[in-house]
Amino acid sequence: MDQFCKGSDLVYNSCLDLTQIPPTDIGILSSEDYPIYPSYSVKSNDNPIEFVLSSSSFHYIDLKNSFLYIRAKIVNDSADPKNEITVCEAFFASLFSSCELEINNVPITTNSNLYSYKYFLETLLNYSEGAKSSYLLSEFWDLDEVKDQKKTTNALFDKRLLATTDKSFEIIGRISPSVTNQSKFLPPNTSVKVTLRRSLPQFSLCGDVENLNFKARIEFEEVIYYVKKHAIHPKIIQNHQQLLKTKRFSYPYFHNEVNTFQIATGSLTIVSDALFAGTLPNFLVFGLVPAKQFAGDPKSSPFWFSSHKLKNATLTCDGDNISFKQIELDENNNNYLRAYTSLISVLPYNNDLSYGLNKRNYTKGRFLIALDLSATHETDRFRPVKHGMLKLELKFKENTTESLICICLGQFERIFQIGKDNTVYTDPSQM
């Protein structure tokens, strides 16, 4: 039998390897979900929800497979029983305004009041349609089909069945400081602190109620962080301890950072201040929401992104008009496919998966645009670091009719290391 070309190795199909036996993984002896309770009472809306995790001398912490469980109810202090209140779309994303994570007393994620949008965009763009219609419903992911909360849709009807006034309901989902999306375990004798701060009730709840008359709130009855811990074979632990004498454990991950800028009523063109300065992100995803929704409006979702008659988006670096990214669109004339497909081009995780956005629902509340700044999307290697200052220029077909907020998510590559005595390093110059 001839080779296809010189240098091509001769092999046979793996189905013909009839003696092969799969290897046995002896590294993990057992796994268990450990319940971690908040450090402070969750009854008060003013208290942060703080969890302190610690591992023993032989347990490793698996943050990626840890889950936050919440049992809560909606309390409506309004005297009008007709004010029917339920949870907003992507409820789990809306619950918390910030999420901070420390490892061995070293901050890994910085405090930001835009955690809700970070969580929503990560989930919307990185999970398959199958996940959103199955296990993500455990965190009330159901997305609205219409903006108006007075119209009863399937998603809104389902939420009202599960979460209505004075009726306890439960949700469970992953918290998402970026480092929890990487799969490496944290070694023994590691301490982790997670701090969550709640969003305003009108940001997380919806109903046909004016904001000034909104008197509903979410009352937490029980909050538990189920942390996955693994008991590891003693020889592996000993090997890791030996490695730490000369090396460090490395944890590379993708960090998503959200910034915003405001667009005044009556604007035709707007140029942002520096969105990101210093290290440039791999890509930028942005969308527009009314300022009223951004602040919290029970009559509409904070995650309802529309085009608002945007006709051009240009991203520049240090004012350079040569190396820029630009998208032209006209939604009224069905000229928006370039914007729609821009999302696919920057998402390496789900290129072969349907993440539930199609031409129809894209223009109904999911109008997001991606601008790619990376030459490659390989996830198993770092890209060359680029520096500069990014600005985004937006041009509208007509003057904007209301104040808007542009939500911008940039993805960066990050790494932290754990060395001797469990010292944590986050500065690449120290690595």
Q: How is the chain split into domains, by residue range?
A: 29-243, 250-349+358-375+384-431
pLDDT digits (tens, 9 = 90+) for 316-349: 888 664 455 788 887 777 788 888 888 877 765 5
Average pLDDT over residues 270-295: 93
Does the 250-349+358-375+384-431 domain belong in CATH 2.60.120.20?
Answer: yes
Count of residues making up the chain:
431
CATH classification number, 29-243, choose in 3.90.1140.10, 3.10.129.10, 1.10.10.10, 3.90.249.10: 3.90.249.10
26 alpha-carbon distance from chain centroid: 33
Q: What is the pLDDT of residue 321?
A: 47
Number of H helices, E strands in the chain: 9, 20
- Percent of all residues in the chain with a pLDDT value above 70, rounded to a whole number: 88
Return d(Cα 373, Cα 13) in angstroms, integer: 40
In this structure, the strands spanning 320-328 and 216-232 are: unpaired
Separation CA 376–CA 255 (nearest Å): 17
Q: Which two tokens stand for residue 252?
A: 């590379």
Q: Which token pair is 291? A: 């300022």
- Residue 355 C-beta-side C-alpha neighbours within 13 Å: 19
Residue 78 has pLDDT above 80, yes or no: no
Burial group, residue 279, by CB count within 10 angstroms (0-12, 13-18, 19+): middle
In eight-state DSSP terms, residue 266 is T
Model confidence, pTM:
0.91
Q: Report pLDDT digits (tens) over 105-133.
A: 999 987 789 999 999 999 998 888 888 88
For residue 302, pLDDT over 90 is answered with yes
DSSP codes joined into one string, 55-83:
--SSEEEEEEEEEEEEEEEEEE--S-TT-
Local confidence band at 267 (pLDDT 50, 70, 90 cut-offs)? very high
Instruction: List, in order, residues 6 or more apart from 221 with CB less than 8 Å away.
Output: 71, 72, 73, 168
> Best-predicted range by mean pLDDT among 6-15, 70-79, 261-270, 386-395?
261-270
For 69-104, letters b (16+ CB in 10 Å) and e give bbebbbebeeeeeebbbbbbbbbbbbbbbbbbbbbb
Quote the mean pLDDT of the chain. Answer: 86
DSSP string for 392-417: EEEEESS--SS-EEEEEEEEEEEEEE
pLDDT at 322: 40
- Structure token pair of residue 424: 């944590």
